[in-house]
Structure 1
Amino acid sequence: MQLTRSQSFVACQKPIFGIDKQLALYRKMLLIRKVEEMLGNASLAAELPGPVHLYVGQEAIAVGVCDHLAETDWIASTHRGHGHFLAKGGDTAALVAEVFGRETGICRGRGGSMHVADFSRGIIGANGIVAGGLALAAGAAWAAQLEGTGRIAVAFFGDGAANQGVLMETLNLSSLWKLPLILVCENNGFAEFSPSATVTSGRIAERAVPFGVAHRTVDGNNLEAVWLAAEEAVAHARGGGGPILLEFETYRLRGHMEQEMAFLSKTYRTNAEVEERRSADPIRRFREALIAHRFATAADLDDLEGEVQDEVVRAKQAAKAAPWPDVTGAKDFMFA
């Protein structure tokens, strides 16, 4: 695939895959949403040892991209990375325990919300440094290329990270070496507390142009559009076509971080704006499509939501019952 300019996907009129696949993807999006809502409430209740940056509203991107990835493929995530972890197959209970800072967490309580990782599932890790995962994913893609096993790497990053110089370095080297790398920009409209239009010039996807890198702009709130774009991108990267940059336009329905209003002197968006954008919620849109195409009834989907909610409740209960890491192990895993 040789794409040299931004392209937009038109929303699909009919489902592109069968009912089992659709329900599995819908369930995955629901799982991410329910985990994030629970963690948001736990943060406001002062149950967590640190801040959380939630993925609410962006679920279609992680789910649509990761559905095409093998367990051996690599992903690098961001400070808003719970959704990527779960979409790649990370364990729900292990994620929740990690965010609660417990020994049973995926990083044994030492990584916290912004640094979840699971190498056994190809999850290099989330990163508290803006754009920190870009170069790491490029390194993983280079290693995959040297191994010659067909493995690829995906770097998730935000619109704020698109303004970091490391994106240019990553585009340059990955283009020169034709690395099997997919750069996934989740353009959610805000760089922390600043509307993207006030801090970002031009279209992010077009930053690929000087480097001859394939690129595409996609509706990130349309699961089918995301899934189709990811299908093409994975085939492109795995087939030796080199890197590709996907810009998914989306919107985060929660704040940059929970409890942000406790320290902001003024709001950066109105409640009316958030409510207006809620109509494009990817989970709501996909639910409506499932019902409209008679793939499921509202009652079926309500039952599924209840099952997911029960899983999240059990994960929280297990996390709160788990022990804190032993203070004597504070320096464990710090040095090789």
Structure 2
Amino acid sequence: MAVMRAAFASSFNDADPLAGLTVGDAPEPTPLDGWAVVDVRASALNHHDLWSLRGVGLREDQLPMILGCDAAGIGPDGAEVVVYPVVFTDKGDFSILSEHYQGTVAERVTVPAYNLVPKPAELSFAEAACLPTAWLTAYRMLTTKGRLEADGSALVQGAGGGVATAAVLLARALGARVYATSRDAAKRERIEALGATALDSGARLPERVDVVVETVGEATFEHSMKCAKPGGRIVVSGATSGHLPKVNLRRLFALQLEILGTSMGTPDELADLMALLARTGVRPVIDSVVPFSDARAAFEKLHSGDVFGKVVLDHTA
């Protein structure tokens, strides 16, 4: 049996997720009809990978499961591509890579051919690998769902995480005024350098905003409601602090606010996102690029929480 290098979940451990991480040999992918094999040049880690190692969204009988949702590499025709991570079934449901199908933290990955999106030459493999999950989610939150205009305003809660950091840069690229919150003074300083007005969590804004990017949940949701202007949109793609916030319904209907849920995006939106970055020169914030040969260190970095931007694996090293 042909094998390749990969990082995969071999067991689950809620208290110590890295205990179930194995970096070693895995079977080479065998493509289904209509699927393609990509030689991975770079992949990016997400907190989803740590949840997988805790057993969230996976069953024991699915192990070993190669981790990773995000990757860029070389398609079967030699073209440079970015892997769109959502796989749809004939029944109309879907999953992301590393849930039902093997993930991207490997030398090669197989996906439906329609999941291959051309990579602009302006983006490196490491930069492109950051985009399919966190950056695509942020782009959809601001554009398709948030309908943010060039002269508009946005609040990004919990800046420092992957989606939130992406939202700050993208909102600026779209021409909007951007406010961002964080409890961490060092992260606020770094967010200021990205072009946002950084504030402590819960602080009063100079204005009410058109769009709130909400990934934190219970800890910030009341503040998000207060910061949205009449007709404003609160777009939710996560709830890291809890998923059952109190909602002031009187404020909701009196100000005609919209609370919108979203997750990921479409291949066309991914292509539009990459075109925006190629055109504007905006690039993902990369915390660190780690050689694939030291993949465990990359997972340890993510698990530590001491991360600003994306942790990327260089599969050529």
**Same fold by TM-score greater than 0.5:** no
Higher strand share: 2
Higher helix share: 1
TM-score by length of 1: 0.31
